[in-house]
Structure 1
Amino acid sequence: MNKKKTVVVLFGGQSSEHDISLLSAKNIISNIDTDRYSILMVGITKEGKWLLYNGSIDNIKPREWEKHASPAFISPDATQKSLIKINKNKFEAIPIDVVFPVLHGLYGEDGTVQGLLEMARIPYVGCGVLASSISMDKVYTKIIAEKQGIDQADYVVAYKKELKEIDKVVSKIESSLDYPCFIKPSNAGSSVGITKAHNREELIKGLNLAAVHDRKILVEEAIIGREIECAVLGNEEIRASLVGEIISAGEFYDYDAKYNNEESKTIISPDLPREIVEEIREKAIRIFKAIDGQGLSRVDFFVEKDTNKVIFNEINTMPGFTPISMYPMLWENMGISKKELVNKLIELALRRVDF
């Protein structure tokens, strides 16, 4: 009888998406095949403290889970491949086989944790260092899309230090883009720090807000159209799902519209011409390959009103697994249950050729 492999589910983190990570982790842990895997739940607090969680899955809630946890961290020592548990100044090394880093946003989805796991030579779910870091940075993702010849919104890049001369920045943006336009931190997730500007005053406010979240700021033209998402899965052989549509209750799909407004909707297999769906699927795979993706990603597009032109928006290398998240729903629509999907992702991690 084969011995169970030990999987560490890593959740929480220091990003603005900490609470979303907890929701995703609960869903993932609930769907891991415990006949095949032993599970260690490791959380990272908002302050960056690593803790081995020993409580119920139901209590993986903001701050609550920390009450039932003890200090532990993944060793970067490649000869150990272990979780180091600390108890009264004594250290215990627990062997581990694979890590599922359910971390969204900075310090988790951006290549940092992936780098630690590469050093430790521990297989992990999802994209590698390069793909994770490029995809987290919206500006560099756009550069990759440009090289692929994939249509996307026109944009201007600004930097936090430039805002000391705000009039120059505004003039540069207004000479390239019309209102309305979107202002985004280049490195942030769940639409945190994103605003839509209809005039100069709103543009200045949006630039200052984005600068709170990142030193690099992306300003994009507003695309009028439908928001469409596609899921990809695989290492060498990449599959793309059919598509889903986001109907935002707000003016755009910001954090509040995603997680706090019940009037926002997700539609699986929306009414779109077949050739448009196939174009989106093909471009999703092309972008995933271009960033050197592995495991999973969700690729987001617009279908422009009137023209039906497919316009790339962004790629997310660790998409949400919450009850309202599109990624698992898209695969369920393809006949792959959450349980099958979660265990497939772990299998893909264990089969990666670079470990």
Structure 2
Amino acid sequence: MKTKLYLLYGGKSVEHDVSLKTAVTVLLSIDESRFEVYPIYITRDGLWCSPGRLSKEGLTVEQLIARPSSTDAARTIGEILTGVLALPGPKVVMPLLHGPNGEDGTVQGLMELLNIPYVGNGVLSAALTLDKAMSKQVLAQADIHQTEYVVCRYEEWKRDEKAILSGVEESIGYPCYVKPASLGSSIGISRCLNRKELLAGILEAFSYDKKLVFEREVSGREIQVAVIGNERPLASLPGEFIHDHRFFDYESKYFDKQLRMSIPAELPNGLTERIRELAIRAYQAHGCEGLARVDFFLDREGDLFLNEINALPGFTNFSMYPVMWERTDGTTYAQLVEKLIDHAMDRHENKQTIRYSK
């Protein structure tokens, strides 16, 4: 019997469009002799619906979009749970939801309640990695080097704006970055050279999140590592994007045709293995399972700083994560998807041995 593979995509997130691109790529790669694919679309308002079974031939993003039967989120989720997800036979869910309301442990918690295996990180690791402020505390506890940072909540900002501005200038200085704590794809992030830009960046970031992280700029290179696995994770060869952007923002990441990947990244002797080891340490410190991309800064003096962990990295066939694996050990995109599904099944099987009564 084929395994039913449920793809969750879209979502109530500013990274909605990125998720749709990911879903198309994954759907086109699926081995239909092993899996029956059931796409589940989540609208920008958080409503769940399905476009039905789709053909790979000529598949477009537009075909993935469906119209919900109701404007009530609970009703639409219920219809999917009692209809599509309740079909008999072996099943696994693959959340392809970037950002809040999907990458942050919310959907993962629902899958845990339903006792359905799912690809990627669990509730705790998903929540920790998406929240940059919490992740930095975990990294500090694990004694992993990172750049100076300050965290600010909206209530603190409203109470004393001048104190926050002065505190950032004194402890971080310029240039600095202001970031929404729980968002990806560089959305809402600003590089600031003075107080005027800092103020504008804060107001922009607060429109996406109610908790911000300020970081000192590290001038140098950004090195990325792909990690896969559960209890015994593996790290890929490091890679980097070659580009001329001072700030690698959303437009640069997704629309710059001049971007070039360098995999493996050209690094001094010994540094490649050190970065791979640190990536696994950070992965395990956050309790990650399935997959994550770990990003580092390497400054001009050769100092290494862990930037962040992305629990659902870009995952089209042109994204850094799958390409790093292909150039590390020859794993194709389709093989990578199947490996992630196998890890999900293994984790779920292990959890079935847990006792819930005396």
In structure 2, the partner of 1:14 is 12
In structure 2, the partner of 1:288 is 283
- Report % sequence identity: 41
Give the CA deviation at 1:343.
Answer: 0.5
Cα separation, partners in 2 of 1:70 and 1:239, compared to 1, 3 Å? farther
Distance in 1 separating the partners of 2:35 and 2:78:
20
Give the CA deviation at 1:141.
Answer: 0.7
Give the CA deviation at 1:61.
Answer: 2.0
Report if the CA contact (8 A) 1:195-1:206 is conserved. Answer: yes
* SS, match of residue 50 in structure 2: strand
In structure 2, the partner of 1:65 is 64
Distance in 2 separating the partners of 1:207 and 1:252:
17
Report if the CA contact (8 A) 1:166-1:204 is conserved. Answer: no
Give the CA deviation at 1:125.
Answer: 0.3
In structure 2, the partner of 1:215 is 210
Report if the CA contact (8 A) 2:49-2:67 is conserved. Answer: no
Report if the CA contact (8 A) 1:52-1:85 is conserved. Answer: no
In structure 2, the partner of 1:255 is 250
Distance in 1 separating the partners of 2:247 and 2:338:
34
1:94 aligns with 2:87: yes
Gaps (5+ residues) in structure 1?
Answer: 77-81, 87-91
- Of 221, 234, 241, 1:239 maps to 234
Distance in 2 separating the partners of 1:56 and 1:106:
29
Cα separation, partners in 2 of 1:113 and 1:60, compared to 1, 3 Å? farther
Query: Is the strand fraction higher in 1 or 2?
Result: 1
1:122 aligns with 2:116: yes
In structure 2, the partner of 1:343 is 338
* SS, match of residue 19 in structure 2: helix
1:322 aligns with 2:316: yes
* SS, match of residue 287 in structure 1: helix
The worse-fitting range, judged by mean Cα deviation, of 284-293 and 161-170 is 161-170
Distance in 2 separating the partners of 1:300 and 1:308:
16
AA in 1 matched with 2:20: L
Report if the CA contact (8 A) 1:110-1:129 is conserved. Answer: yes
- Of 139, 150, 157, 2:151 maps to 157
Report if the CA contact (8 A) 2:296-2:307 is conserved. Answer: yes
Structure 1 residue runs of 4 or more that deviate by more than 3 Å after TM superposition: 55-60, 67-76
1:236-278, Cα deviation, whole Å (9 max, x unpaired): 1110000111234432111111012222332211211231111
In structure 1, the partner of 2:225 is 230
1:56-103, Cα deviation, whole Å (9 max, x unpaired): 4554425x5335787896669xxxxx84338xxxxx942361100011
Give the CA deviation at 1:354.
Answer: 1.9
AA in 2 matched with 1:48: G
* SS, match of residue 46 in structure 1: coil
1:161-216, Cα deviation, whole Å (9 max, x unpaired): 23333211101111101200000000111010000000011011111111111111
In structure 1, the partner of 2:23 is 25
* SS, match of residue 242 in structure 1: coil
Cα separation, partners in 2 of 1:248 and 1:84, compared to 1, 3 Å? farther
1:48 aligns with 2:46: yes
Gaps (5+ residues) in structure 2?
Answer: 353-358
Distance in 1 separating the partners of 2:351 and 2:245:
43
* SS, match of residue 48 in structure 1: coil
AA in 1 matched with 2:269: R
Report if the CA contact (8 A) 1:298-1:327 is conserved. Answer: yes
